[in-house]
Amino acid sequence: MQNSAPSLLPEIDAITANKWMVERTGVMLDVREAAEFDFENIPGSVLLPLSFLDPNNFPAIEGVKIIVLCAIGKRALAAQKQLQDSGFNNLYTLSGGIDAWKKAGLQTQGGKFEALDYTI
């Protein structure tokens, strides 16, 4: 039996991910849990928690890059590996997760901001 080298899971930075989303060449898959997503998320991202991820039921997404994200990157890498092992291609992890997105000065949305609304 031949040992094959583990395949590298590609990561991208927040600026590149944002560019792909603006150009509509990438779709953002958020694998955090629903409460985390409701609290704060990236506009245009799609929620599919890692706890519910089933590669057998994952939709066939062709013609765009799939950018997987979580809070800091660990769950995203696990989801990316599951999908890649099931034959999905064009998968990228958002390096540093939503934290890196915010550090890059990019916008988020969600309940976090509703709690800060002090208008009367």
- Which residues does the annotation mark as catalytic? 70
Concatenating the DSSP letter of every residue in 46-82 gives: EE--GGG--GGG-----SSEEEEE-SSSHHHHHHHHH
CA dihedral 59, 20, 72, 82 (to 10 degrees): 30
